[in-house]
Amino acid sequence: MVAEWQIDEQLVRRFQGGDQRAFEDFVKRHQDRIFRLCATFVRPEVDPADACQEVFVRAYTGLPRFRFRAKPFTWLYGTAKNVCRELNRKVKSVSLGSGDLPELAAHPQFMETDLTFVRRLVSELPERQRDVVILRIFEDLSVAETAKALGIRAGTVKAHLHKALRNLMVTLKKLGIEESDYD
Amino acid sequence: MTSKDSEQFVQQLVNLSDGYRRTRAPEDMLSRVLRNVPQRSSSGLGLPVFAGLAATVFAALVFVYNQSSVQGRSPQKYPSFSMIKMPSRSEIKVPSTVSVPISPPSVPVLPRKPKPVEKSQTKKQILNYFVDLKERYDEINNS
């Protein structure tokens, strides 16, 4: 069975060989995940679809020079974070919560409470813990897949996850969500 | 936090984030991306292929030029190094005494200075000019 990252590498190699269709397949494979990441990271004034589009435009220009030192999704994930950071910087009018993440208000485009909830949670976490929680818990990647996506060891993923869970409990208490509310 | 608590907590988070995972990118995301990417040649190889072709053509031209110039040369006109006969050591005659002609020291010729313009004459010209100008001015005012 071919692993997810191996399919990505094959697509990128085909694209580097001039196969336009491979790039389209690559976009289709990752567009939902990258869109959700962008929706989590951008401020409410920024359209996550614009951010997502910019990520793939950069992929189009960057992947021909990709050297496979990391997994293609790791590279894409890093690009998504950079793009969101740049777009957030452009709309400085709104004050920030912690780091460069948006305040607790829900994104106007997504009234789903779950997305707001995710945004609330990750805004309180340090960057690496945030990455692990998003990929491992919210994107439902395995520990090994998360490790490969972030370019770190599986043990490091577990350690970050453990710390993140402790911090999340504290955050949930701050937000006024008690254990009884989970069920 | 025990591992069981942790597992339960993660499961609760996963349940709460179901909606997050259901969030999808807009339908037209691919077409949006393709509309905004820079144009690329159909082969996808673009510059490297062009550079390779250019290098090959250049090398071929240099080769053809070299060949034609070698063929066009007459051996008498451009003898090769092997055809030039170098004199042997015994054939080279060195005169026993070397006479160096001594010429009398030449007197250095200094460049002529340009003739200085007489200052008084220049001043006079400038003065005349202004006098003339004043006269004209007065004439215009009086009229």
- Report the distance separating Cα A73 and Cα A26, nearest Å: 10
The predicted structure's pLDDT at residue A17: 93
Separation in Å, CA B71 to CA A47, A127, B64: 71, 72, 11
Any CB–CB contact under 8 A between B1 and chain A? Answer: yes
Checking ipTM against 0.90, whether it exceeds it is no
Q: Identity (one letter) of the amino acid at B8?
A: Q
User: Which pLDDT band holds residue B75 (cuts at 50, 70, 90)?
Assistant: low
Which residues, numbered 35 to 74 in chain B, qualify as contacts with chain A under a Cβ-Cβ cut-off of 8 Å?
36-38, 40, 43-45
Q: Is it the case that residue B77 has pLDDT exceeding 70?
A: no
B23 vs A28: CB contact, 8 Å cut-off? no
Q: Is it the case that residue A39 has pLDDT exceeding 70?
A: yes
- Report the distance separating Cα B90 and Cα B87, nearest Å: 8
What are the backbone dihedrals phi and psi of residue A104, each rounded to the nearest 5 degrees, phi first?
Answer: -75, -5
A140 vs B9: CB contact, 8 Å cut-off? no
The predicted structure's pLDDT at residue B66: 72
The predicted structure's pLDDT at residue A26: 95
The predicted structure's pLDDT at residue B50: 64
Q: What is the pTM of this model?
A: 0.58
How distant is the alpha carbon of residue B95 from its chain centre? 53
User: Which pLDDT band holds residue B128 (cuts at 50, 70, 90)?
Assistant: confident
Say which of A52, A110, A165 has its CB closest to residue B25: A52
Nearest residue in chain B measured CA to CA from A165:
B6
Average pLDDT over residues B102-130: 73
Total residue length of chain B: 143
